[in-house]
Structure 1
């Protein structure tokens, strides 16, 4: 592989790593925005009313198309007050579960009532023991990605965030530092070579000028000797 191919490969590698680096930065910013906005939507991380939740239990394991398993990642839409009144039997909702110290739960509606809805997990033998008021309904199920919830749960831990986010950024920062150092070194080396070439050219010109001066002096001396003869 010649020098040109090596330089081209190095440039491509640099571009790819830069894309990865800035993509990670963008994802971290997006993740931070999502976490911050979750404070205003009953702890559901969301952007513009569309959020996601990692499934931790098996209460919704079933054969329905919108059933889901532990460690799945489900997507939900945050509901406005008027939208909560239009929910129907069979829809899957996320609500504040006061039997679980106010934590969020996601079950299927099996009955719609004037004062709220009754829910049941697809994997449960019977309905939930309480009526969920419309005020406690937070969101409605939209879709899922199987298995991704486990990764999100791991990412929310200090170890997961450190390994998946901080460590790659740290390594990329080191790489960027090395690339910057090499770039500065290369610029200085090129500048030094240019200065060295200029000095050599200047020395060559001075040498040629000195040769010309000596030649002119010798020529002048010869001319004077010829005149004396």
Structure 2
């Protein structure tokens, strides 16, 4: 029973790690292919928050997933991500929707933003917030982190396989010796 549970755990861990690796490779490939475009995975764009302008809802180091959204569907109080005139990516809350665009403000800021967001600059709406996951993503995207993230689980998988095969080999030897 223990061996079966260990095997199930190993396979689930392997599948999870493989999915994460595929996701990271896909996003990295997209980012290198077109550096000016934010990578997208099934319509969701992963971004790491760099400032505390949206605290307490979103903090620096959090990872957000931004879902592409039509500008016509944006409403007040939604948290959107957009590009400013100087191409910076900003995530703030909509405080007013006007025909010229959206007036936004960071929850932690005292005043509204000095610009209106052009509907063409909209990247999308924040759909998921993963607290502190941006730090992990930054580490994993480093050479050391990626090596550990790929090599360590792979090594663990190999060690478990070697252990199971060695165990089976010695169990067969004991069974053969007991029959004699």
Q: TM-score, normalised by structure 1?
A: 0.61
Higher relative contact order (CA 8 A, sep 6+): 2
CA contact (8 A) 2:66 2:123 kept: no
Structure 2 equivalent of residue 91 of structure 1:
78
Structure 1 equivalent of residue 133 of structure 2:
148
- Equivalences for 1:39-78 in 2 at 5 Å? 43-62=37-56, 67-78=57-68
SS of the residue aligned with 1:85? helix
Alignment partner for residue 16 of structure 1, among 9, 20, 28?
9
Structure 1 equivalent of residue 166 of structure 2:
182
Q: Note the C-alpha offset of 1:95.
A: 0.6
Alignment partner for residue 152 of structure 2, among 168, 182, 186?
168
SS of the residue aligned with 1:98? coil
SS of the residue aligned with 1:126? coil
Q: TM-score, normalised by structure 2?
A: 0.75
Q: Where in structure 2 are there 5+ consecutive unaligned residues?
A: none
Q: Where in structure 1 are there 5+ consecutive unaligned residues?
A: 1-7, 201-229
Q: Note the C-alpha offset of 1:40.
A: 7.4
Q: Note the C-alpha offset of 1:56.
A: 1.7
Moved more, 22-31 or 88-97: 22-31
Q: Note the C-alpha offset of 1:14.
A: 3.7
- Cα RMSD of the aligned pairs, angstroms, is 3.4
Give the total of aligned pairs: 177
Q: Note the C-alpha offset of 1:28.
A: 1.2
Q: 1:23 to 1:68 in 2, by over 3 A?
A: closer
Distance in 2 (CA, whole Å) between partners of 1:42 and 1:140 is 19
SS of the residue aligned with 1:47? coil
Q: 1:12 to 1:143 in 2, by over 3 A?
A: closer
Distance in 2 (CA, whole Å) between partners of 1:11 and 1:122 is 50
Alignment partner for residue 92 of structure 2, among 101, 107, 114?
107
Larger Rg: 1
Write 1 or 2 for the structure with the bigger share of helix. 1
CA contact (8 A) 1:71 1:146 kept: yes
